Amino acid sequence: MKNKSKKFIVPAITAAVMVLVVILAQLDILNNYYQTILMTICINVIMSSSLNVVNGYMGEFSCGHGGFMAVGAYVSSVLSLVLFCPGNSITGKALLPPESAMFLFPVVILLGGAASMVVSLLVAIPSFKTRDDYLAIVTIATNFIITTSLNNIGIVGESRGLMGMKSTLSRMSGVIDLPWILIWGMLFAALTVYAIHRLMKSTLGQGISAVRYDEISAEIMSVNTNKMKLIAFTFSSGLAGVAGGLFAHMLGFINPSSFGIMKSTESLVMVYLGGMGSLSGSVLSAFIFTILLELLRPAQIFKWVIIPLMLILIMQFRPEGIMGPRELPQVFPKLRKLFPVNSDMVRKNQTGGEA
């Protein structure tokens, strides 16, 4: 009974923090500026932790996460406008009662994620027949293909972009006056971290990690490495699509340039800053990176020089990142009561799979 009760401590703390944030937002202690920063942190948590599944746990090198984010952003935005926004630029009328947005909004976001999974599957099937750095090349090309295609699709505004998604949030607030985008952002971020945690603790997750340690040995031990790669890559890309949908509704406006190679570089910086194969590191780096970007806002265009430079410096002087392959319970042993750690996996992470 005692062990079972411990399982609910972390979800209870997470829920309490979310409720506190909503209360502070309602009291205007957290104004729109701080809510936007918190929402950006949630989006970056999803982006960083999802990319870590491929680049960290699986040991491949994907460089086009921004492209999959774009797919999710545009698909969820189009669905949101068509379903809930009268007078939208696509159909001119809403297909559903606008008030239904409060209940169907997460479905729209998840459909954007599903669209990203489909696109990633088209990329993954030919890519994973090769080895080494070919995935990096293919994903960079995919990022450019997606953004260039969006620049030439008239129904979504071409290079001018797409706007009006704030109307969906207004309809939701019209039913119950709450900071809905912040609520859904926190929920999706928490569910993303939980889903990745559960995935990597499962037998399937062990198969994904086996690809990183030694793909040939994994194949000898009857691990279907191509299947593992497909699952990890599509799952990661689907989460990027979810982040894209939240990003689009947070801003209320998107254009293809929002999802260029710099957006993918941001994801890479967060993954390598936090630590390859460390979920705790991904969450921590999302916080640090978002605050750092906000502090660099006065630098304007020079911050796009600083961000790639950060990636170079991390790879040069701290390639293992802040956490390395470790999780919080390995750094702070007292936390093991709340976050059980598989000792075999700890040993594998520390020795590079030789345990």
pLDDT in tens, 126-157: 877 766 678 888 899 999 999 999 999 988 98
| 41-57 pLDDT, tens digit each | 999 999 999 999 999 99
Position 264 confidence tier, pLDDT thresholds 50, 70, 90: very high
| CATH number for the domain harbouring residue 335 | 1.10.3470
Query: Residues 6 or more apart from 98 whose CB is under 8 A from it?
Result: 84, 85, 86, 167, 168, 171, 174
Per-range mean pLDDT, top range of 76-80, 157-161, 351-355: 76-80
139 in a structural domain? yes
C-beta separation of 188 from 109 below 8 A = yes
The domain total for the chain is: 1
| Residue, of 104 and 90, whose pLDDT is higher | 104
**pLDDT over threshold 60, residue 344:** no
For residue 24, what pLDDT is reported? 94
* Residue 274: inside a domain: yes
At residue 5, the pLDDT reads 60
**Is 108 within the bounds of a domain?**
yes
Q: Sorting pLDDT into bands at 50, 70 and 90, what band is 347?
A: very low
Mean pLDDT score of the chain, rounded to an integer? 86
Q: Is 35 part of a structural domain of the chain?
A: yes
Residues comprising the chain, all counted: 355
CA gap 231, 169 in Å, rounded: 33
Tell me which range, 79-83, 201-205, 306-310, is most confidently predicted by mean pLDDT. Answer: 79-83
Residue 248 scores a pLDDT above 90? yes
- pLDDT grade for 345, boundaries at 50, 70 and 90: very low
Residue 312, domain extent: 3-345
Structural element, H or E, at residue 162: strand 162-163
Closest residue by Cα to residue 123 from 136, 139, 143: 139
Residue 351 lies in a domain: no
User: Is residue 305 in a domain?
Assistant: yes
Predicted TM-score (pTM) of this structure: 0.90
Inter-residue contact 287 to 193 (CB < 8 Å): no
Cβ atoms of 75 and 238 closer than 8 Å: no
Residue 210 has pLDDT above 80, yes or no: yes
Q: Find the angle CA(347)-CA(349)-CA(351) to the nearest 5 degrees.
A: 65
* pLDDT over threshold 50, residue 83: yes
Structure tokens at 111: 């459909």
For the segment 151-194, what is each residue's pLDDT rounded down to a tens digit? 999 889 888 889 989 999 988 988 889 999 999 999 999 999 99
Residue 354 has pLDDT above 90, yes or no: no
Q: What is the DSSP string of 25-43?
A: HHTTSS-HHHHHHHHHHHH
User: Is the pLDDT assigned to residue 296 strictly greater than 60?
Assistant: yes
pLDDT at 18: 94
What tokens were used for 211?
């690809």
- 352 occurs within a structural domain: no
In a domain, 355, yes or no: no
Q: Is the pLDDT at 66 greater than 90, yes or no?
A: yes
Does the pLDDT at position 334 exceed 90? no
pLDDT level of residue 6 (50, 70, 90 thresholds): low
Report the pLDDT averaged over residues 247-256. Answer: 93
